[in-house]
Structure 1
Amino acid sequence: MDRPSVIAGALLALTALTASPAGAVPADPGCFDRDSRPYTSVVDSHLHFRPFGGPAIPFKELTGYLRRSGVRYANVYGIGQTLPSDSTCTYYLDCPGTPVEPSMKNDFANARDMVENAPKDVHLTLSMTFPDLAHPDGVLQRMRLLDKEYPGRFRWMGEVNLVKQALLRNDHEPADREDIAGWAPFMEQLRERNIPLTIHSDLGNNDDHTEFLNLMEEVLKRYPDNRIVWAHMGLSKELSTMDPAQHIDILRHLMDRYPNLGLDISWRVLYDQYFSHPKARAQYVPFLNRYAERILPGTDFVASRDKNFKTYKEELDITSRVNRYLDDEAFRDIALGQSYFDLLGLDDTAPHVCRS
């Protein structure tokens, strides 16, 4: 449902109507004035329209949250591993021991909502979240099933789990090297169709900061031509004590070696555990500035019915706070969406930041 330049044009028009501070007149009337406009991202590349269990926030209500908060582009993620239908839980951590099972039901539900209720003023990109990366047999066939039922609708894959420690108590099985080798058929399809893949792969934990790094390295080594987005920069609640310098060195090495690798900075855990601390932030900001063309913003909001607009607005604000420290080019790429537009091949163009 591409609408080239329509939404970006609306953003430009809105920005042009905003008065500049202290009487300054920008050279470009369509530029984005960081002094008077919000720092919150206009893209939410990591948004789960479906919860792990229980009822979801209705589709129209959730797209209303986007509209009200200034988000004009979003990925429509489901949840690929869901709690049993007879479970009373909405969040897996509340039910240790209850297995989460791979399922296509969220992808079908999201696709149906997109067909019936797609908004005209918010650009949504539908994503396949069903793949079980530890059992790749059948992924290609299921992709074809979605294609048959909803031709041309799915333009992203993910978030899918390579290793997610928080799910281990719910029978989550991490993929291993042999499993990763078995991805080849569906990875070939993703390459041919220019579909990005967002992977959740924990870097490690407080006992071993890089315990699982070898798994992501194996993926990148085997599939260097696939456009892969590493969710949360590999961070998690289980990894709160890593030296930012060590983390950044790992990321820099991988980003330089694999030009198709991108990162998303979704999830408030990144802010709470790292970006909110001045010394850590002072190390991350130069990294974000340098690689901004390959970095995507997102909330990692999970749309369970026990949440509301206030919750979403708070998550958007917290996950966007690092934007305030970016240089102007990085702000344009990340907060204003140019990196997202480029990754998806959209014709939309983010406004440039106003110069004094």
Structure 2
Amino acid sequence: MSTKTLRAAFLASALVSLASGCQSTGSERQLAQFKAGPEQACYDRATQPYTFVVDAHAHFRPFGGEAVPYSELIRYFQPAGVLFVNVFGIGQMFSAQSGCQRFSLCPTGEIKPTIRNDVINGSNALLHPNSDLHLTLSMSFADLSEPQDVMQKMDLLDDEFGPAFTWMGEVNLVKQALFKHAHRATEPAHIADWAPFMARLRAPEDGRAPMPLSIHADIGSDQAPTQYLHLMENVLARYPDNPIVWVHMGLSREQTKMDPQQHIAILSRLLDAYPNLMLDISWRVLYEAYFRHAAIRAQYVAFFNRYPTRILTGSDFVAAKGYKLRDYRREVEINSRVNQYLSDEAFRHIALGQNYFDLMGLSYRAPEICQ
């Protein structure tokens, strides 16, 4: 048997183990609770946590320097009530020679897309199989301004790890926070050149389900509220059949004062026009700038209740060395506070993960809400 065949066999065994649903003691939530069947218990919102069960936006690798060791990091999720996790790298990183440990500590210095952390994440998933979680490996290397290299690197990951990677992202269409680090908004002409890899994401060659693409695309800034909206509209118009997740609902630290009615109107228009578009509501900026204010929160809760099947949850936790379980728990709790106000239908689909299960074609099922 060839080395490649042996590696593929080992990978298949590891992935089965990752999603097998074996239970561990001491946790209120376990994968078995999300198995469909007559014995599945309902979920009592009055006594059970409002925190999300799916972290569809977790960065296992930092912008630079050392990460939380993988074997330690995967022990953070279940104690925080999270059972389903997207294993993101970072869309762009400092060079290994820069010495930069964290984005906040290096206000300048070039950041470039790299495949480095995807290889590390894939390797760690093989070396540390875990039966208490369902992990989804995501390719985060793609440079949307240089799409000619994306297919080659997808081949590299598939050759090395077989069918392990079933998501792509988070990738940056436009991220103003990185403008001081040599990042620029993707030109519309380059979006047209995505066609080959977008076709492959829609229909992977080995029969995998369509691979969602998580895109960071700032709508604008407080000074120019819709300056970059045309870029995301361009993507959606060109690739309406691709499952696309618009992370942070298009908001950012550069846009913390957008009129909620204007924002919700934009999102509603695009959700109505593009059935394969979903939003993720990760990142504490959304809570700090919008959801913590009762009048503003009420507008977004009404929006989520109106589109209960189009929203994904996430922490946007970046696992830089030095962060601990308490830090991850804090991000989960803050990013989950809006869940308390959702209708039962929206809570089941969003907080309990049914939207994620449907998007990924998983056999898991969110419990019904107790009446």
TM range (shorter): over 0.9
Q: Counterpart of 1:176 in structure 2: which amino acid?
A: E
Q: After TM superposition, give the deviation of residue 170 of structure 1 in Å.
A: 0.4
Q: Counterpart of 1:164 in structure 2: which amino acid?
A: K
SS at the partner of 2:362? coil
Cα distance change on mapping 1:152 and 1:77 into 2, 3 Å = same
8 A contact 2:67–2:319 mirrored in 1: yes
Q: Superposition RMSD on alpha carbons, in Å? A: 1.6
Q: Which runs of 5+ in 2 are unaligned?
A: 1-14, 24-29, 205-209
The CA deviation string for residues 49-104 of structure 1, in whole angstroms up to 9 with x for no partner, is 00001110011111100021111000000013111212232223432330001110
**Equivalent in 177, 193, 196 of residue 185 of structure 1:** 196
Alignment of 1:7-22 (within 5 A): 10-11=32-33
Aligned to 1:201: 217
8 A contact 1:80–1:129 mirrored in 2: yes
Aligned to 2:109: 98
Q: After TM superposition, give the deviation of residue 290 of structure 1 in Å.
A: 1.6
Aligned to 2:327: 311
The percentage of aligned residue pairs carrying the same residue is 52
Aligned to 1:73: 84
- Structure 2: how far apart are the matches of 1:311 and 1:133? 31
Q: Does 1:157 align with 2:173?
A: no
Q: Which runs of 5+ in 1 are unaligned?
A: 14-26
Aligned to 1:216: 232
State the TM-score, normalized to the length of structure 1.
Answer: 0.93
8 A contact 1:28–1:354 mirrored in 2: no
Alignment of 1:1-356 (within 5 A): 1=15, 3=19, 10-11=32-33, 30-193=41-204, 194-355=210-371
- Structure 2: how far apart are the matches of 1:216 and 1:9? 35
Q: Counterpart of 1:284 in structure 2: which amino acid?
A: Y
Q: Counterpart of 1:11 in structure 2: which amino acid?
A: Q
- Structure 2: how far apart are the matches of 1:351 and 1:292? 15
Ranges of 4+ aligned residues in structure 1 off by more than 3 Å: 2-9
- Structure 2: how far apart are the matches of 1:280 and 1:191? 36
The CA deviation string for residues 267-301 of structure 1, in whole angstroms up to 9 with x for no partner, is 00000000110111110001111212121000000
Q: After TM superposition, give the deviation of residue 9 of structure 1 in Å.
A: 5.4
SS at the partner of 1:113? helix
SS at the partner of 1:189? helix
8 A contact 2:89–2:121 mirrored in 1: yes
State the TM-score, normalized to the length of structure 2.
Answer: 0.89
Cα distance change on mapping 1:265 and 1:116 into 2, 3 Å = same
The CA deviation string for residues 82-140 of structure 1, in whole angstroms up to 9 with x for no partner, is 11212232223432330001110100000000011021110000000000001111101
Aligned to 1:22: none
- Structure 2: how far apart are the matches of 1:93 and 1:305? 14
Q: After TM superposition, give the deviation of residue 10 of structure 1 in Å.
A: 2.1
SS at the partner of 2:167? strand
- Structure 1: how far apart are the matches of 2:158 and 2:39? 43
- Structure 2: how far apart are the matches of 1:310 and 1:29? 30
- Structure 2: how far apart are the matches of 1:253 and 1:109? 39
- Structure 2: how far apart are the matches of 1:43 and 1:327? 18
Cα distance change on mapping 1:9 and 1:266 into 2, 3 Å = closer
- Structure 2: how far apart are the matches of 1:304 and 1:54? 8
Q: Counterpart of 1:225 in structure 2: which amino acid?
A: D
Q: Counterpart of 2:297 in structure 1: which amino acid?
A: R
8 A contact 1:162–1:175 mirrored in 2: yes
Number of residue pairs matched?
Answer: 342
Q: Counterpart of 2:358 in structure 1: which amino acid?
A: D
Q: Counterpart of 1:184 in structure 2: which amino acid?
A: A
Q: Counterpart of 2:94 in structure 1: which amino acid?
A: L
Aligned to 1:20: none
